[in-house]
Chains A and B, each alone.
Chain A
Amino acid sequence: QSALTQPASVSGSPGQSITISCTGTSSDVGGYNYVSWYQQHPGKAPKLMIYDVSNRPSGVSNRFSGSKSGNTASLTISGLQAEDEADYYCSSYTSSSTLEVFGTGTKVTVL
């Protein structure tokens, strides 16, 4: 099965908003409202930031928001901060073999 497509890198200045896209198919992103987003700092385990397309776990800043349109999901980080510099991965339920499929990952740089 193919990974979901994300841009390799996205950058922004402190205080700005950035959006990371995650494109799949009707068998995953487009077919189900089970898209998650993970933040990963170097050497650390991934941290759940968004689940079920737009829900934030307790303790996650409301600067992080998720949405979906068709086969593309998006993660928006508003009021960008230095601590947001990390790798971000989307994940979606899929009707194919593994139940879940990851995105290719996006490196966010705060300029």
Chain B
Amino acid sequence: QLQLQESGPGLVKASETLSLTCTVSGGSLSRSSYYWGWIRQPPGKGLEWIGSMYYSGSTYYNPSLKSRVTMSVDTSKNQFSLKLSFVTAADTAVYYCARLDYYYGSGSIWGQGTMVTVSS
């Protein structure tokens, strides 16, 4: 059964770059027709899509974050990553990674999430 696990620093200083990795187990990240995404949820607030990507490298970023976001994939490690630059307190949130399915009809699968706090 496919599982996703987020990892990375829980504390990042303001103005620095937040870096998170999502490790995929129980399946291949490079299987065609699946997309992979990042979502975040600030404390007490709703869910926000950060961006999505295909294993080949095509990316789709939230316009409000586009200038600071970079998503990448490492198929050899079955991992994909998120980098968010010049973070502020507003970037403090639980960050989730997910697999999106628009082809096989199996629904999305999410990781358990990781809390990232931006400190001043």
A-side residues, CB < 8 A to B, are 1, 3, 34, 36, 38, 45-46, 48, 51-52, 55, 57, 89, 91, 93, 97-102, 104-105
Contact = CB atoms under 8 A, between A and B. Distances in A.
Contact of B60 (A34, A48, A91, A98): A98
Nearest to A105: B46
A51 B49 contact: no
Contact of A51 (B46, B48, B107, B113): B107
A67 to B, nearest CB: 17
Nearest to A38: B47
Nearest to B109: A48
B93 interface: no
B80 interface: no
Given A55-B107, A99-B60, A46 B47 contact: yes
Interface stretch (B10-18, B61-69, B82-90): B61-69
Interface residues of B, number: 28
- Most chain A beta-carbon contacts within 10 A, residue among B47, B51, B109: B47
Interface of B: 35, 37, 39, 46-52, 60-63, 66, 96, 100-102, 105-113
B105 A48 contact: no
Q: Which of A51, A97, A104 has the most CB of B within 10 A?
A: A97
A100 B48 CA distance: 9
A89 B107 contact: no
A99 B108 contact: no
A10 B48 CA distance: 21
A50 B39 CA distance: 18
A48 B110 contact: yes
- Quick one: which of B37, B51, B102, B109 has the most chain A CB within 10 A? B102
Nearest to B37: A100
